[in-house]
Homo-oligomer: A and B are copies of this chain.
Amino acid sequence: MDIKNYMQDLGRQARAASRRLATASTAEKNAALLHLATAIRRDKAALLAANAEDLAAARASGLEPAMVDRLTLTDKGVDNMAEGVEQVAKLPDPIGEMGEFKFRPSGIQVGKMRVPLGVIGIIYEARPNVTADAAALCLKSGNAAILRGGSEAIHCNRAIAALIDEALLAAGLPAEAVQVVATTDRAAVGELITMREFVDVIVPRGGKGLIARLLAESRVPMIQHLDGNCHVYLETDADPAKALKIVENAKTQRYGTCNTAESLLVDRAVAAALLPPIAAMLAGKGVEIRGCAETCALLPNTVAASDEDYATEFLAPIISVKVVAGIDEAIAHINRYSSGHTEAIVTDNHPKAMRFLREVDSASVMVNASTRFADGFEYGLGAEIGISTDKIHARGPVGLDGLTSQKWIVFGDGHVRS
């Protein structure tokens, strides 16, 4: 198989299909989505069988247990996949929406219309549900998609791909609107991320290693985040009850998510009052504290934090803690160590809350709320294709709008420029 030719063919077909999809009606797109949801439920047994094939191969090749876990599709997982697709069908169609009109002194009226980006390349790892999720979001936003899943999920991804083809054709849309890369050859990824003429944006979904590699090699713009080293900062005027509740939720609700707090900053003036009850709560949940010298002095038996710890996304029951002199040091520390994902201040002081919002350079900045809220569903986007820690094009949770662009539209009545 000539990988370059194969990928170029996929690209060319995707580009052609994207023209049709850009002008597809909401009814056509929703018909395809609802057909897909029905087909997923109908073929549950076949999907689980395909997944069993993948799992057998994964175990035989000694894939690590966490990866096998992510690869596993359960009966409930198939139902969730179908429901996810139905939820996307229910979202308002962003494409063609006009707005922001204003009359200009020349007499023309200028506004904007939302349009698809064109062709989206999605590169992901073991989770087979991404195939259906990503296809649904691209389709609803009028974009053609080229999906490149992990080689360990190839049987299941192919089975889902066949259902997507069926659903597109049933709705009168081109099957090439969503294409799943059929080869597990790694060279296919290299092609996908460099075909600028056929691919408008790449959305990687996977571990830091995958994303760092793609970022270094991609010639196509990417919407991605590397990691989520999120901070909670307890300012001098923090309400102690809110502080405890927010740290508990931000750190301990789930350890493996990118919006989990990994680092806690506390003002010196309130450290002695606030840290002990927080440490007791964390100890009760088995969370290890790695602290600065002052933290260790206040909390006996605390591990000393290294500089590396402050830069680490633990994704585990570990939190780094640092006592700071005040908001200047807190903001400087965050802007130095954070990955730019999400940070929260706990304070009842209004000017300090506003300074934190303005000066912390992260995709989401919060006042008196848990970092765990940084999420497409919680923000009201309906669904998310990913979370961006970049500033170009999309930032923070990325929903349907992040997969679109706006063109300028002008209404005149024979107007010419003078």
What chain B residues lie within 8 Å of A396 (beta carbons)?
407-408
A245 touches B416 (CB 8 A): yes
**A117 CB contacts on chain B under 8 angstroms:** 391-392
Q: Which residue, of A245, A367, A406, has the highest number of chain B Cβ atoms within 10 A?
A: A367
**Quick one: closest B residue to A354, CB to CB?**
B96
Residue in B closest to A113 when the chains form the complex, CB atoms = B357
Would B391 and A397 count as touching, CB distance under 8 A? no
- A211, chain B: closest CB distance, angstroms: 14
Say yes or no for A365: interface residue by CB 8 A criterion: yes
Which residues from chain B contact A368 at a C-beta distance below 8 Å? Answer: 411-415
- A115 contacts which chain B residues (CB < 8 A)? 361, 391
> What is the total number of residues of chain A having a CB less than 8 Å from a CB of chain B?
65
* Nearest B residue to A218, CB-CB: B219
Tell yes or no: A58 within 8 A of B by CB.
no
- Of all chain B residues, the one with the shortest Cβ separation from A109 is B369
- Within 8 Å by CB of A249, from B250, B357, B408, B417, lies B417
* A111 CB to nearest chain B CB (Å): 10
- A110-B379, A380-B102 given; A249·B416 CB < 8 A: yes
Knowing A380-B102, A408-B363, A417-B253, say if A108 contacts B392 (CB, 8 Å).
no
Known pairs A358-B96, A363-B408; A373 contacts B245 (CB<8 A):
no
Q: With a CB–CB cut-off of 8 A, which chain B residues contact A364?
A: 407-410
A250 contacts which chain B residues (CB < 8 A)? 416
Whole-angstrom distance from the CB of A370 to the nearest CB of chain B?
A: 4
For residue A359, CB closer than 8 A to chain B, the reply is yes
The minimal Cβ–Cβ distance linking A17 to chain B, given in whole angstroms, is 14
A200 on interface, CB distance cutoff 8 Å: yes
A80 interface contact, C-beta 8 A: no
The yes or no answer to A306 lying at the interface (CB within 8 A) is: no
| New contact pairs (15) apart from A115-B361, A397-B408, CB-CB < 8 Å | A19-B335, A23-B359, A106-B373, A108-B373, A108-B378, A115-B391, A117-B392, A363-B407, A364-B409, A364-B410, A366-B409, A370-B417, A374-B408, A391-B405, A396-B407
Pairs A–B under 8 Å by Cβ, sample size 22:
A102-B380, A108-B378, A110-B373, A110-B379, A110-B380, A113-B358, A117-B391, A118-B391, A200-B391, A364-B408, A364-B409, A367-B409, A367-B410, A368-B411, A369-B412, A369-B416, A378-B417, A379-B408, A392-B405, A395-B405, A396-B407, A397-B408
